[in-house]
Amino acid sequence: MTRIGRSDLDVLPLNLGGNTFGWTSDRDTSFAVLDAFISAGGNFIDTSDSYMASIPGNSGGESETILGQWLTARGGRDDVVLATKVSRHPDFLGLAPDNIAKAAEASLQRLHTDHIDLYYAHYDDPDVPLEDTLGAFDSLVRTGKVRYLGISNYSPERISEWLAICEANGFAKPVALQPHYSLVAREPFESTLRPQAENFDLGVMPYWALASGFLTGKYRTQADVDGAARKRIVDGYFSPEGLAVVDELAVIAAAHDVEIATVALAWTRQQSTVVAPIASARIPGQLDALMASIDLELSDAELRRLDTVSAAVVTN
């Protein structure tokens, strides 16, 4: 187990992503993925109130609803660390105080729980004074509806501002940072956000750690992506430099007799400030490769080889 920042949240270092629930995984398949994750020892689940509002026929909150149904069916709420996010649900856009209070209530109802372990601001809201937003978050912590706070998709400058406001007002400080970070997207995390995680003792949970499937090695030509649910995002990773990363991952994976995805996640987990990479599994069969990353220790030489080949990737 690894601890998130200054919290008392102990997690197995693979954070299961919840954006498949109600999208590429129906309710029964989502339950099967969650059951397999818990059986394999996992305890840390990431979702958002907005997952997956962008899918035709959905209205937002589908992922939380499935998670809540699963928690009710299976029990064991206290055995899992539940992270969700606010600011992008179509009915609760932004981070005005009243909106945060209502969005949190709606998330608690969908999740069938009385508390959220880790509550992220999903995206910055420049139209609301940050002091007002942080006052609302602080109230949620003081009333016990939220245990800890996290930050996702904020600039380094706004993270500094966030911490200064907490200091000045005695507000609950954030313990976690959720940035986009992987072997094919190392910047801007490494240059500008990791220093902030170090400065403010934020545990980092990188999202798109598998580059939406590109770092599993299953897409070798652009034609492989045709028809894939994640095509729009995966398309952006196709370049000779990106494919060279996959080739190097394949060599290291063969040496360890593991999957390419396992090596990609192990590299991410072994980066400084990272607590747990986030990755989702559409079906239970995809989970083994994800969970195996927890026990894979890449050597310094292997980490350097991956550092070198991935340094050539130009981040979009």
Which positions touch ligand NAP (CB under 6 A)? 17-20, 24, 46, 122, 152-153, 178, 207-213, 216, 218, 228-230, 259, 261, 278-282, 286, 289-290
Q: Is 51 a catalytic residue?
A: yes
Give the residue with the Cβ less far from ligand NAP, 101 or 228: 228
Nearest approach in angstroms of CB 280 to ligand NAP is: 3
Nearer to ligand NAP, 165 or 264 (CB): 264
- Min dist CB 48 to ligand NAP, Å, is 7
Q: Minimum CB separation from ligand NAP for residue 170, in Å?
A: 27
Query: 7 or 87, CB closer to ligand NAP?
Result: 87
Q: How far apart are CA 49 and CA 121, in angstroms?
A: 11
Shortest distance, position 120 Cβ to ligand NAP, whole Å: 7
In the set 51, 154, 207, 219, the catalytic residue is 51
Whichever of 216 and 273 has its CB closer to ligand NAP, that residue is 216
Q: Shortest Cβ contact with ligand NAP: which residue?
A: 17
Do residues 92 and 49 touch, judged by C-beta distance below 8 A? yes
Q: Which residues are catalytic?
A: 51
